[in-house]
Structure 1
Amino acid sequence: MLTSLLLTAALANDAHLPPLIEWQGQSENLMQTQGPLVTDFEKSGGIDSPNYEQTVAYLHALQKANPTQFSIKTIAKSNAGRDIDMLIASQDGVASAEAISLSKKPTLLIQAGIHSGEIDGKDAGFMLLRDIANGKRDDILNRVNLLFIPILNVDGHERRGEFNRINQRGPRVMGFRTNGQNLNLNRDYTKLDTPGIRAVADVVNQYRPDLYIDIHVTDGADYQYDVTYGYNPAFVSVTPKVTKALDTYVKPIIDEKLQEQGHIPGPLVFVMDKMEFKHGLAGWVAGPRYSNGWGELRHLPTILVENHSLKPYKQRVLGTYVLLDGAIDAMASNADKLAAAVKSSVQSQPKELVVELGYAKEPDFVEFKGIAYEHYFSDATKTKEVRYLGKPQNYEKLPIYWQKDIKTQVAIPKAFYIPAQYSQIIDTLKVQGVELQTVDALTSLNLTQGIIAEHEFAKSPFEGRFRVTPTMEYKTGAYTLDSSWLKVDTQQRLGLLATHLLHPEAPDSLFQWGYMHTIFQRTEYVENYALAPYAETLLKQNPELAKQYEQKLKDESFAQDADSRRAWLYANSPYYDQQYLRYPILMQY
């Protein structure tokens, strides 16, 4: 039973939050109060979540209770040296990656705690696995294999406290959003700076799951939905066949099961104006730095769950259990159809890739289950604020502004060519699972190189890196490559992901994340006593260059600036650094 001290603390931490709509659901019957595998969450009455040590202990208790079907694999060590564990559940008792990848049963990858304050998935997954271990849910492993990561961000999980998320109802003590180095793992799916996301890439490549579910808790406005989830919609997806399969074969089954158990499933959307909800919703579209955007480019059906932070922890965890159960039903019933959609998607990759989207200026309209609100003057902030009233308010036509205006679209090359000295890029591609080939010695090719005409560095670091935004020009010509170069053919399963990683105009390219900052620095210079006589000879021997120079001199500021004139002459000499501001990865069209 919940002690009066715990109850007082829980109420105190909720006092500043909007009032609740009373909830009761059939899913409450999923909780157990007796038996050796009652979870810490259940023991607390649905308000607590175990710490790392207790979590690992319970994971091993599950495995001990069902050793023929459960096994545990450490998929990585965190920066602080903690194990990141994954439980593998298979009726056949074979836990190897090869066996799971070749299994005739579909495989579901469940990931919890990427933001470890948002830990609903851990406690829901433990309840589900407990029900398998004690024989209550024998049906599950008859139909699917499960991969369960209870805490991905293990270091952030142990930065625990009662005051980590001011707008979230529980658990009473929760972890922190970022890891021990203050990096957000759900911004790391392209650059792979964290051990956790590198491990996820490895798991996906080795075990080949058929569905990937990443469980979060959302911030923002109040509304009636307790479980919201989604993926990039078909009208903006680069792999629309996979999206349509999720719409057709997965979402209806999950929604029906949630509704039957007393939950209200909703769309994955955010708010355009947090001060005025009726101004509409933001239809966010994930890029590949996020789990669901990354999964999209891999043709991997991926669902991002965002439980509603203002709903009680118990309600959210039970809703997550039901969602996972619905996903299992959907996979088991439609495995062949999902697989066929993925296969067709891989075989019909586009010739162009949209790499950046903006919000539409004109909205679409949706029905939405909101919460009534009012404005008031706050004595503390001395301005107008929003107050949600805890009463349903349904919108028949609420505006929604989707990110569907194309800002940047690139042609997908036939291949990229990477010089061997960029070993960090090559290593990252290999971890991602992108296939690379060694170039034959002295291969002559017609290739395109990007030239950085302008660039702007971010004024402050983001996710530990100083990002750069370029304006590109391109030059095509003959290049002779030797066997130190590596080729990335885009006609492969991960061709779309490779394009986003390697094209310089893609916002989540390794280039824009700062993998190639050395091309912005010059390391060889010229002395004026050598440049002046050399330039005089150069201009006499090259009439075309002399004509360009005369044209430049018509610019008054250039004509009056000796340093600018010297810089131009040096830049147009063969002594100039030919790699300065040249994108080193070549493209073949």
Structure 2
Amino acid sequence: MFTVLLSSLMALAPTPAAPAPAWRTPFENDKAGNTTATYAECIAYYQKLAAAYPAQMHLAEAGPTDSGQPLHEVVLSADGDTNPASIRRKNRRVLFIQNGIHPGEPEGIDASMMLTRDLLQQPKLRKLLEHVTIVLVPVYNIDGMLNRNSTSRVNQNGPEAYGFRGNARHLDLNRDYIKQDSRNACSFAQLFQKWQPDVFVETHTSNGADYQYTITLIATQHSKLAPALGQYLQAEMLPALYKGMDQKKWPMTPYVDFEGETPESGLRAFLESPRYSTGYAALFNTIGFMPETHMLKAFAPRVHSTYDFLLTMLETVDRQAPALAAARAAAVAAQATQAEFPLAWTIDESQHETVQFRGYEGKHKPSAVSGQPRLYYDRAAPYTRPVPYYNTAKSTATARRPTAYIIPQAWADVAERLRRAGATLEPLTHDVSVPVEVYYFTDFKTTPKSYEGHYLHSQVQLRTATETLTYLAGDWVVYLNATAPSRYVVETLEPQATDSFFAWGFFDSVLQQKEHFSDYVFEDLAADLLAQDASLRERLEKLKAANPAFATNGPAQLEWVYQNSAYHEPGHNRYPVARWLGTGRVGE
């Protein structure tokens, strides 16, 4: 009964006003509603709109991608202003929409084509552009969209043909925001900094459990935002989005992520780290969203629900523009003086909300393949019941704010990424020797298999030391002043952070020792060292007394003496990026 009622409500959901035949998209031209635009059709459609409405729409190339095709930037503005600085002076909010990061999940591609047209052609909708400028990337993973097929999304109900998740380098671009291995991510980072949006939306399709909703939502984890921004998101923006979607007859729930076999165990906030779009956006005090349509619903309602979500988002940003601006300004001001930065997070199991969840009963039956029990969701047994929603995160590691980080110029790949994020790298004008705080790696874990082209490090353990080191003219200083993207800088340069540059393997060469000893030669030198340094001898004897296995292991004792002597190379296991805690400028 409830399933029938919900389906009826969805059938009555408002759809865009019928466009003139010349302006119908490939999706709209398919009576079955099971067609998504090809890449060529998509770009041609935006080119046609830009030619017809030059006063409100601007289409430009925004940098290269791994496909060889350019990333495209669409700007929609009521008065035709496409200058970010001018738009900020006019106190307009910026809504950034990105589609096709996973081209097998193409609803946003088609929905945005329709919404862009309607914003340009319908006067009532065009008024929404008076206080909000839309920046839109029609297709982010062009590479994957060109790799069109009908089989890679085996769990998904349409469309008839679609793109592939990986890009031309077989990268999942929604794991590439921090490491930026792809040209796509490099171009995006520059475009994102150009606009510094208030809100970022990236459209997706879900995998996982079956349930009654056509669309679910991942929002930036509110606990990970600055307090003013997190409170605004929870108290004002999210309620407005859920209410707006209810009014458009698309009931929505938080993204269905859970532990256990079925959602009744409780929904869990998606702890997006900066490798993902919403986690990346949060580093710059931008609220991020990933609407996730449900893979098992037909393609047409998935497209229409995405259209209505994007429209609801635009309406909400327009209506709440003053509150959004105030919350972001407060977040930026707080970050300018923030002394302690969280680096890693976990779900706080001691706190939860309650949501009324519309699901299907999870049951078991014998598998036709193996004969063993298998899970299925019984659509003849819908339910609505309260489930816990664990939506609070707590930090598990922090770092104190330094005055600056010093980066030797050898690490140019790291410097390039920092610049793309808006950080200022000041080169030293002369050689200097300064006291700095340095890290030595004492332990970490590494993934046994490659993940997105890297062997990720985690559970990083450090020894901190204060040393006077010499830096050369041309080495870079990154000051954490009021205008710096401080959170981004800290979370990429502190090696304990979940998605730091160390975690992604950018500094792996320091983990390998470059010189060593021949044991038969070093035996005599080690004996001399112990004879000349009573404290070294005492430390060795204490270790032997405390550890019988070490006491009978000659090579291990010889290695220990070497490690604790001046002959051991100082750069081994020392993190190359130093923390400077002084005042003023380095070297002055």
TM-score (normalised: structure 1): 0.90
- 1:367 and 2:359 equivalent? no
Q: 1:267 to 1:528 in 2, by over 3 A?
A: closer
Q: What is the CA deviation profile of residues 348-397 of structure 1, one whole-angstrom value per residue up to 9, with x for unaligned ones?
A: 13433332233445563432122234221112132222222325744443
Structure 1 position 530, deviation (Å)? 4.3
Structure 1 position 71, deviation (Å)? 1.8
Aligned with 1:579 (options 559, 571, 577) = 571
Amino acid at match of 1:222: D
Structure 1 position 552, deviation (Å)? 3.3
- 1:478 and 2:468 equivalent? yes
Aligned with 1:40 (options 12, 26, 31) = 26
Matched ranges for 1:344-383 at <5 A: 344-349=330-335, 350-361=338-349, 364=352, 365-383=354-372
- 1:328 and 2:314 equivalent? yes
- 1:158 and 2:146 equivalent? yes
Give yes or no for contact 2:93–2:325 (8 Å, CA) kept in 1: no
Structure 1 position 49, deviation (Å)? 0.5
Give yes or no for contact 2:218–2:270 (8 Å, CA) kept in 1: no
Instruction: For 1:279 and 1:190, locate their aligned partners in 2 and report how far apart those are by CA, in whole Å.
Output: 32
Structure 1 position 41, deviation (Å)? 0.7
Matched ranges for 1:15-94 at <5 A: 21-22=7-8, 24-30=10-16, 32=18, 34-45=20-31, 46-94=33-81
- 1:138 and 2:126 equivalent? yes
Query: SS where residue 478 of structure 2 aligns?
Result: strand
After the TM superposition, list the runs of 4 or more consecutive aligned residues in structure 1 that deviate by more than 6 angstroms: none
Query: SS where residue 461 of structure 1 aligns?
Result: coil
Structure 1 position 23, deviation (Å)? 5.2
Matched ranges for 1:231-242 at <5 A: 231-234=219-222, 236-242=223-229
Q: What is the CA deviation profile of residues 474-528 of structure 1, one whole-angstrom value per residue up to 9, with x for unaligned ones?
A: 1123344443332223344421111110111112000010001101112222334
Between stretches 189-198 and 565-574, larger displacement belongs to 565-574
Aligned with 1:123 (options 110, 120, 129) = 110
Instruction: For 1:129 and 1:103, locate their aligned partners in 2 and report how far apart those are by CA, in whole Å.
Output: 22
Residue matched to 1:499: 490
Query: SS where residue 348 of structure 1 aligns?
Result: helix
Give yes or no for contact 2:209–2:262 (8 Å, CA) kept in 1: no
Amino acid at match of 1:486: W
Structure 1 position 28, deviation (Å)? 4.4
Q: What is the CA deviation profile of residues 201-238 of structure 1, one whole-angstrom value per residue up to 9, with x for unaligned ones?
A: 1112112222211111111112222222232343x224
Identity %: 26
Instruction: For 1:180 and 1:309, locate their aligned partners in 2 and report how far apart those are by CA, in whole Å.
Output: 24
Aligned with 2:450 (options 431, 439, 461) = 461
Q: 1:482 to 1:79 in 2, by over 3 A?
A: same
Q: What is the CA deviation profile of residues 317-370 of structure 1, one whole-angstrom value per residue up to 9, with x for unaligned ones?
A: 111221221222222222222111111112113433332233445563432122
Give yes or no for contact 1:31–1:42 (8 Å, CA) kept in 2: no
Between stretches 49-58 and 369-378, larger displacement belongs to 369-378
- 1:205 and 2:215 equivalent? no
Give yes or no for contact 1:287–1:508 (8 Å, CA) kept in 2: yes
Aligned with 2:277 (options 287, 291, 300) = 291
- 1:432 and 2:421 equivalent? yes
Structure 1 position 457, deviation (Å)? 2.5
Structure 1 position 123, deviation (Å)? 0.8
Instruction: For 1:348 and 1:495, locate their aligned partners in 2 and report how far apart those are by CA, in whole Å.
Output: 11
Query: SS where residue 130 of structure 2 aligns?
Result: helix
Q: 1:392 to 1:84 in 2, by over 3 A?
A: farther
Residue matched to 1:149: 137
Q: 1:238 to 1:140 in 2, by over 3 A?
A: closer
Give yes or no for contact 1:212–1:301 (8 Å, CA) kept in 2: yes
Give yes or no for contact 1:21–1:390 (8 Å, CA) kept in 2: no
Aligned with 1:527 (options 518, 522, 527) = 518
Instruction: For 2:333 and 2:130, locate their aligned partners in 1 and report how far apart those are by CA, in whole Å.
Output: 31
Residue matched to 1:3: none
Q: 1:395 to 1:447 in 2, by over 3 A?
A: farther
Q: 1:28 to 1:313 in 2, by over 3 A?
A: farther
Gaps of at least 5 residues in structure 1 are 1-19
Between stretches 167-176 and 520-529, larger displacement belongs to 520-529
Give yes or no for contact 2:221–2:391 (8 Å, CA) kept in 1: no
Structure 1 position 303, deviation (Å)? 1.6
- 1:547 and 2:538 equivalent? yes
Q: What is the CA deviation profile of residues 408-459 of structure 1, one whole-angstrom value per residue up to 9, with x for unaligned ones?
A: 3333333222111111111111112222223464545442211111233221
Aligned with 2:478 (options 448, 469, 488) = 488
Give yes or no for contact 1:369–1:392 (8 Å, CA) kept in 2: no
Query: SS where residue 531 of structure 1 aligns?
Result: helix
Instruction: For 2:424 and 2:380, locate their aligned partners in 1 and report how far apart those are by CA, in whole Å.
Output: 54
Instruction: For 2:360 and 2:424, locate their aligned partners in 1 and report how far apart those are by CA, in whole Å.
Output: 49
Residue matched to 1:17: none
Aligned with 1:112 (options 99, 105, 120) = 99
Amino acid at match of 2:305: G
- 1:422 and 2:408 equivalent? no
Residue matched to 1:183: 171
Query: SS where residue 81 of structure 1 aligns?
Result: coil
RMSD: 2.5
Matched ranges for 1:195-274 at <5 A: 195-234=183-222, 236-273=223-260
TM-score (normalised: structure 2): 0.90
Q: 1:29 to 1:538 in 2, by over 3 A?
A: closer
Instruction: For 1:471 and 1:529, locate their aligned partners in 2 and report how far apart those are by CA, in whole Å.
Output: 33
Aligned with 1:412 (options 401, 408, 422) = 401
Amino acid at match of 1:128: L
Instruction: For 1:101 and 1:436, locate their aligned partners in 2 and report how far apart those are by CA, in whole Å.
Output: 25
Instruction: For 1:541 and 1:315, locate their aligned partners in 2 and report how far apart those are by CA, in whole Å.
Output: 80
Give yes or no for contact 1:101–1:208 (8 Å, CA) kept in 2: no
Structure 1 position 161, deviation (Å)? 1.6
Give yes or no for contact 2:157–2:299 (8 Å, CA) kept in 1: yes
Q: 1:278 to 1:132 in 2, by over 3 A?
A: closer
Aligned with 2:373 (options 375, 378, 384) = 384
Q: 1:333 to 1:282 in 2, by over 3 A?
A: closer
Amino acid at match of 2:277: S
